[in-house]
Structure formats: structure tokens, C-alpha cells
Chains A and B, each alone.
Chain A
């Protein structure tokens, strides 16, 4: 590619954007709005997935120990638990600690505990966090057969429900992402088709005076890149401020709700949006041009 041609291509892009000001404005606007909407859904999907993992990680197995167990036996059980493949964390909960937790949970109603007097009916236990939530049932069964274990509990019904919900969230999120990406590509490439169509006479004249296909194509490819870059950039800036405002609101009102941290998530999203904007812009102009090059 000659330097003079590169200069020509860039000048063509600038001149064409200035001449077709409204078309340029509409195209960049469409790219920006489409990518913004896509971005919102990507944020939602990311948070839904995050929520799903968060829910799953809260699935724990409580291993209640028999009373009057020696410290040595307790240590043995703890080691055996730690050696299980599906176990990530084992925490000892003494009967005193369990009692305090119970008191806290009851809050104002903790007076009922006074009926127990000085005795503490709660057992010592281990709180076990698992790696793969789906396998929690298998792991619990293994643990229940250990010597010295009174009972095992992992909130059976609740856990199974959570898995159903998280699976649904993931599948829905994926489907939604595919559909929205498709719709975005369709809208953007249609807009670009309009800008190409507006210049079909110019393309025909270029063909008649002997321009090669690539000579005609380059300015359009560059224009597509510029549309994608600016449109993607605008949508990314808008999404960043949208997400930081939303995060603040959620932190102040629904503090327990696990939202995805802004960094580095928003940086990834920015890169993804700008790159997909450019890709759709370039593809859109190349595909739309094809028809008009057949002269």
C-alpha cells in the first residue's frame, strides 16, 4: 500500500463523514446505543452468574460430633475431613460458639434460651466448605460414616433448589447473550448498509473509471472501524458511569447483595465493547459493499 493511498483513504473517510454528517451521526449513535444495551445485559448476566456462584459457595456441611469425644479423636476427624477431595475449608465450631451464634440469631427472642438454665444442648461441630457444590450430597454421605460423627446436615432441600436456580440463571444468561449479540450485529450492520447504499453512485463511478475492489473497499473498512471505535467508546464511557452509580446505590441499600467488582470487570467490558464495535463495523461495511462491487 502506497503512502499516497493511505493519505487518500483517511482523507476520504474524513470528507465522507463530514459530507454525510447525519448519516455518520446516526450510525455512530446506533452503534453506541446498541452496544450500550448489550453492555447492560452483559453486566446483568455477569452479576447473575456471580450471584449464582455466591449462592453455591454458601452451601456448607455441618458435621455434628458426638459428645464426650476426646481432643485426639476430634483432630483425627478434622484431618480426615481435610483429606477429602471436595473439601476446601474446615472450621471447628465449639458448642459455646454455636450457642452464642444461636443467641445472636434469636435477637430479641433470646429470652427463650433462659429456660435452658446453665446447660448447653448444642454439640461441637465442624463447618465444612465444599469445592464442587453439585457433589455436596456425596461428600456428606461419606462424612456421615466417620467414627465419632453424630449427624451431618447441609440443608438438603435448600441446596438442591439453589442448584436448580443457578443452573437456570446460567443457561438463561447464555441464551440472552447470544440473542442480544445477534440483534446488535443485525442493527449495526443494517445502519452501515444504509451509509454504503447512500454512496452507491460513487461506488459505481469508481468501478467505471477502473478502481480496484480494494481501493474502493479501504475507505469503507476504515469508516466502519471509526464508527465502531467511537460508538463502542461512547457506550463504554456511559456504561462505566452507569455501573459505578448503580454499585453505589446497591452498596448503600442492599449491602448483602454480591455485585461484581467494578475493577477489572469494567475494563474487560470496555475492551470487549470497543473490539466488537470495530469488528461489526468492518464486517458490516465489507459485506454490504459486496453487492455494489459487482458492476
Chain B
């Protein structure tokens, strides 16, 4: 599904080496956490996958598309094949829940009847069928992220990429959101999620790739947030909402 070989990313404007010599293979149907501290390079990795940034060297294939050699006009078609979810939801405030989700189908020029059916269906999946005529401002953070998830999966992508999806949510809501991701993954969709939410990583027991200073330092199947034996691995029960301290994106 995703194939990265010797990928290096150096930001042109300030010369920061965000990623260096990264090689990753992710198969279809996998659920992968990308963990690391703020500024480690995990957000850059996500940006490279969706062609928001272009790699300086190496090769990247997403769903058999050559992301690096891709022409500008091909980028929309890459993005249609994957769903994206962000920490700040990125909903359109002046449109209803239904319209926000339908929007993703309108821009790929889907027929009207199919849009109606798919949007209703996907809103049921994320549990927002009742609130389809609400505006984002009338929703809680967790509900907004559900709308964003609905929007990401409405076109039935093979891959969902999420950058700190629980970053603004409390632990209980985060768990609900993770349940939705788990269900999507169980249905066969590949999920790549950058996060530094220790609790959710530890509770899911999925593949974990840890990035530190632009290098992969760990790639474990059924891993935890931190390497066992590295530090204390005690999972704090309360007040672990440490995401407040950083959006996890690379500061340029």
C-alpha cells in the first residue's frame, strides 16, 4: 500500500533536515502508528504521503502511484484514493454536517443520488445520523472529529491518513474515536496515524514506528508507545492528555 525507500526531506527555506533515509513498507489492511515527539518528523512523513510536501530524495509509492515523480495535475487523483484526518478537523463552519461530508463527493464529481446514499450511510457509521443538519459550531470536539472521519471515508478510500486525530480530545472521547478507526480498519482500510497519545497506542496493540530526529528508531509489530525497558512504561491512568503541549507538527 505504502512504500518508502531512502526518503529524505530537507526544507528548502531553512535547511532543516526533517527526515533522513527513511525506508518503510506498509501492507494493505495494516494499522500503523507513527509516534515521536513534536518536531521528530512524523508530521512531515504524513505530508509527504499526501503530497503536501515533496521529498528531497528517495522514492515514495502510495497505492502504486509514484508520489515524487507525480505531475501537479495528478495530485488530486492521489488524494481521492486516500482519506485525510487532521487534529483541527478542518470542517467548513458555514456548512452543515451533511454538507461537509457531501462536499468530499461533490468535488470528485459523484452523481447526486450516490452522494445522498453514501453520506447518510457514512454518518450512521460514525454515529451522527441524528445531527446531519447541525452546523460544526453546534457540535462537541469529538463529534466534529467524527464528521471529519465521515468525510475521509465517504469515498471508500483504501488508505486513511490521520495526523494527531485525538490531539484536541479528552481520553474518553479519544477512545470512542479510536473505536471508529478500529471498525474502519476491520473493514479492510489501511490506516496510518501520527500521534503522541500514549494511551491509545498502548491500548490498540498495533504496529508502531517511532521516529526521532528524522530517523526511524523502532518498528514493532504489536508495539507500545515507548520501547519496553527504555524508561518507565507505567501507563498513567488520569490526566494523560499531554497532547496540549504541541500540535506535533514540524515547526519550520
Q: Which residues of A contact B (CB under 8 A)?
A: 2, 4-5, 8, 19, 201-202, 204-213, 215-216, 295
Contact = CB atoms under 8 A, between A and B. Distances in A.
Interface string B36-58: 00000000000000101000000
A123 B151 CA distance: 97
Given A205-B103, A295-B52, A210 B94 contact: no
B104 A209 contact: yes
B80 interface: yes
A212 B76 contact: yes
B107 A201 contact: no
Nearest to B106: A8
A204 B107 contact: no
A206 B90 contact: no
B119 to A, nearest CB: 13
A215 B92 contact: no
A216 B73 CA distance: 13
Contacts of A206: 103, 107
B111 interface: yes
B158 to A, nearest CB: 14
B112 interface: yes
A276 B183 CA distance: 56
Contact of B107 (A2, A19, A210, A295): A210
A208 B79 contact: yes
A199 to B, nearest CB: 9
Q: Which 5 A-B pairs have the closest CB atoms?
A: A210-B80, A211-B107, A210-B79, A209-B104, A210-B76
25 contacts: A2-B109, A4-B111, A4-B112, A8-B106, A201-B92, A205-B92, A206-B103, A207-B76, A208-B79, A208-B90, A209-B80, A209-B84, A209-B103, A209-B155, A210-B77, A210-B78, A210-B79, A210-B108, A211-B76, A211-B108, A212-B76, A213-B76, A215-B107, A215-B109, A295-B52
Contacts of B52: 295
A215 B110 CA distance: 13
Contacts of A201: 90, 92
A264 B90 CA distance: 54
Nearest to A19: B94
B81 to A, nearest CB: 8
Which secondary structure dominates chain A's binding surface?
Answer: helix
B13 to A, nearest CB: 14
Nearest to A295: B52
B108 A209 contact: yes
A208 B50 contact: yes
A215 B107 CA distance: 7
Contacts of B73: 212-213
Contacts of A211: 76, 107-108
A210 B111 CA distance: 16
Interface in B89-128: 90-92, 94, 103-104, 106-109, 111-112
Contacts of B80: 209-210
Chain A CB within 10 Å, residue with most, of B77, B78, B79: B79
B72 to A, nearest CB: 8
A8 B109 CA distance: 9
A19 B94 CA distance: 8
A216 B155 CA distance: 19
Contacts of B155: 209
Given A208-B50, A209-B79, A212-B73, A4 B90 contact: no
Contacts of A2: 109
Contacts of A295: 52
A2 to B, nearest CB: 7
A210 B52 CA distance: 12
A206 B100 CA distance: 11
Given A207-B79, A209-B103, 14 more contacts: A201-B92, A202-B92, A205-B90, A205-B103, A206-B107, A208-B90, A209-B79, A209-B80, A209-B107, A209-B155, A210-B79, A213-B76, A215-B109, A216-B107
A263 to B, nearest CB: 47
B84 A208 contact: yes
Nearest to B50: A208
A163 B112 CA distance: 69
Interface in B142-157: 151, 155
